[in-house]
Structure 1
Amino acid sequence: MRPTPGPLVIIGGAEDKQRDCVILRELVRLAGGEQARIVVITSATEFPIEVGNEYVQVLTRLGAEEVHPLHIVKREDANAPFAVRLVERASCVFFTGGEQGRITRLLGGTQLDAALHRRHGDGLVLAGTSAGASVMSSTMIVEGEAETSPRPGIVHMEPGMEFLNGVVIDQHFAQRGRLGRLLSAVTKYPHHLGMGIDENTAVVVSGAECRVIGSGAVSIVDASALTYANVEFADRGEPLALCGIRLHVLPAGHRFDLRDRRPILEDAEPHRGDEELTS
């Protein structure tokens, strides 16, 4: 019987580390609870020691058996047998925030990269916050303008770590006004779903299904039914005309089918207006 790939825990950044810790507590549970062995990869951040120690403290407090920071600061580190051994015995690998391009530049194509894909295919839980969330997809947003309408040239994209295909992820979504740049991204790649994740919010992906946890919402942008766009005619910096794009906004407790591109509403709480109509 073929093994099942492990879940992905994709966090929009600024997750709660002091109070209820809903997201990180769920991460520890998925990783094995009291038997959880978590490796924290700090490649994205300019402060690896401080950030690594912070996650060691909070994940240990939440019950993980072992938490090991792994500081990859040059590509040789990602080919070191020690780094590969840590991943081989881990039940979860967590990518911190920072700059997503540093993760792909330091890890892409290395022995550690190969071990992560192999182990994830065997059931390893993979998680990432902020920049660590962006790298989960096959195509990632590296930088882009915020708080603007969709426009040509406002978003720069590069290959990600390829743990989740067919999705482009953006983080700190509502807090930094990033709908315009996500729309710009999916206009360039309409075969991809856009996934904008608010702060202290996460998507847990298992197979083709994802569920939302945390205090904010996840915005799913689907351009597959796009009927009109003036991308070929609009000058750089000029607002885009986009017609036929679908937008789903899903708070905690809601689920989405990534394969069928539809929300799963069977277990969702009814909208108050629906209750009034049926009462």
Structure 2
Amino acid sequence: MVNPTQYPVMVIGGAEDKVGPRSILTNFFKSAGGAQATIGIVPCASQEPSVVGNRYTRIFSELKAKSVKVLDIRRPQECDQDGWLQALDSCTGIFLSGGDQVRLFEFIRNSTFATTLKKRLNLGTLVLAGTSAGAAVMGEKMISGGSSGESPNRGLVDLMDGLGFVPEVLVDQHFHNRNRMARLLSAIAANPDKLGIGIDEDTCAAFKGDGTFEVIGKGTVTIIDPRELTHTNYRSSAPTSPLSLHDLRVHILSEGDEYDYRRRSVCMPTHGMVSHF
């Protein structure tokens, strides 16, 4: 039975509050065991891993975690070394920092480290959080780059494999803050079997382990559900030609809202009044 107060996977849109109430980071800390937590920070997505590692070490130490470790992996496949695997074994929570999601993917993919992360997530013995680049890699497919400010088109988004911790989703981060709706729509046109999730800054899709997630933070999570998509011209369009996508379903979720990503449905609100239009 999954503890409903815990979030096994936390997907954060970036720029999460680090100096105020720290609601997202506090929820991760509590989910990882609170005062008994051993938190491992993986900063290899960043070009300044020492700076990033020190920043999160200070935060989780101030929250009174039992132990905080920086898993300062500096080269691809270095994470297969016994030292890093032993460090992972002792952790109750792993935090993937921001930076470059392609760099993070190249460092960790097809490694014993990544396989162990997935096994421990399945066993319920580890909590995983990722912010910005760390959020982008969560799906089986990921957005590796692209642009904004245009109509959806094939050339707007760069796509590649992700690390597959939550295979069903395709994540974009800094979402409304960087005007990335068209980018996510373009990504979903290319991968209509995935659920698009656009996460604003200082906002988190906190997965509960039961097929649902809850929104935490000050922004919104945008859901692009293509399950009932009847037409897209993605395969036949020129790289910069506008895309057609018919019969998409879109949800905008704010703090406290919950979504069942396996059944593709919004959970009945448990807070506030329900309005019918």
> Normalised by the shorter chain, which TM-score bucket?
over 0.9
Letter in 1 for 2:217: G
Shift in Å at residue 215 of structure 1? 0.3
Per-residue CA distance 1:187-235 (angstroms, 9 max, x = gap): 1111100000000000111221100000000000011111222224432
Letter in 2 for 1:228: H
Distance in 2 separating the partners of 1:196 and 1:76: 30
Shift in Å at residue 113 of structure 1? 1.7
Per-residue CA distance 1:169-201 (angstroms, 9 max, x = gap): 000000000000100111111110000000000
Gaps of 5+ in 1: none
Greater mean alpha carbon deviation, residues 151-160 or residues 192-201: 151-160
The one of 160, 164, 167 equivalent to 1:165 is: 167
The one of 134, 142, 145 equivalent to 1:143 is: 145
Q: Aligned to 1:49, what secondary structure does the other structure show?
A: helix
Letter in 2 for 1:177: N
Q: Aligned to 2:178, what secondary structure does the other structure show?
A: coil
* Pairing 1:51-130 to 2, within 5 Å after superposition: 51-123=52-124, 124-130=126-132
Distance in 2 separating the partners of 1:84 and 1:60: 22
Distance in 2 separating the partners of 1:30 and 1:177: 31
Distance in 2 separating the partners of 1:115 and 1:245: 36
* Pairing 1:1-16 to 2, within 5 Å after superposition: 7-16=8-17
Letter in 2 for 1:263: V
Query: Is residue 39 of structure 1 aligned with residue 33 of structure 2?
Result: no
Counterpart position of 2:202:
200
Distance in 1 separating the partners of 2:105 and 2:7: 21
State whether residues 226 and 243 of structure 1, in contact with CA within 8 Å, keep that contact through their aligned partners in structure 2: yes
Counterpart position of 2:238:
235
Q: Which runs of structure 1 show a deviation greater than 4 angstroms over 4 or more consecutive aligned residues?
A: none
Distance 1:6-1:270 versus aligned 2 partners, 3 A rule: closer
How many residue pairs match? The answer is 272
Distance in 2 separating the partners of 1:148 and 1:269: 36
TM-score by length of 1: 0.93
* Pairing 1:190-229 to 2, within 5 Å after superposition: 190-207=192-209, 208-229=211-232
CA RMSD of aligned residues (A): 1.8
Per-residue CA distance 1:232-264 (angstroms, 9 max, x = gap): 443221111222011000000000001110000
Letter in 2 for 1:8: V
Gaps of 5+ in 2: none
Shift in Å at residue 15 of structure 1? 0.2
State whether residues 96 and 131 of structure 1, in contact with CA within 8 Å, keep that contact through their aligned partners in structure 2: yes
